[in-house]
Amino acid sequence: METNTKSEGWFFPINSRKAHFFRNGRSLCGKWGYLGDKFDSDDLASPDDCTQCKKKRTIELENRRSPSKASAFRPIQADRV
Ligand SMILES: [Zn+2]
């Protein structure tokens, strides 16, 4: 149900060594801002992806695929208590 007008996606900031996933002008890891509308790809798998952005994006995709299992995701630390 998404429109063709992209407002989110992976982007490689010029002064960054990693690609970040941006939404509404802000990276998921919260460290970068980008107000353009050009993105490299919706979900390209690359070793250059920011690990924090990738982790959050992966969880989003998993939740979208199986919304009923969304509650199964917990912070990693919770299992180590
Ligand atoms: Zn990032």
Structure tokens belonging to residue 52: 């924090």
What's the 73 CA to ligand 1 centre distance in angstroms?
20
How does pLDDT run along the chain (81 residues), one tens digit per residue? Answer: 455 566 789 999 989 999 999 999 999 999 999 988 888 766 666 788 999 999 999 999 898 887 665 555 555 555 555
What's the 51 CA to ligand 1 centre distance in angstroms?
7
Q: What per-residue confidence (pLDDT) applies to 46?
A: 77
Cα separation, 53 vs 68, whole angstroms: 23
Cα separation, 13 vs 48, whole angstroms: 12
| Angle 71-77-78 from CA coordinates, rounded to 5° | 50
What's the 11 CA to ligand 1 centre distance in angstroms?
10
Q: What per-residue confidence (pLDDT) applies to 66?
A: 74
Of 49, 2, 6, 47, nearest to 28 (Cα)? 49
What's the 29 CA to ligand 1 centre distance in angstroms?
4
pTM of structure: 0.69
Q: What per-residue confidence (pLDDT) applies to 65?
A: 80
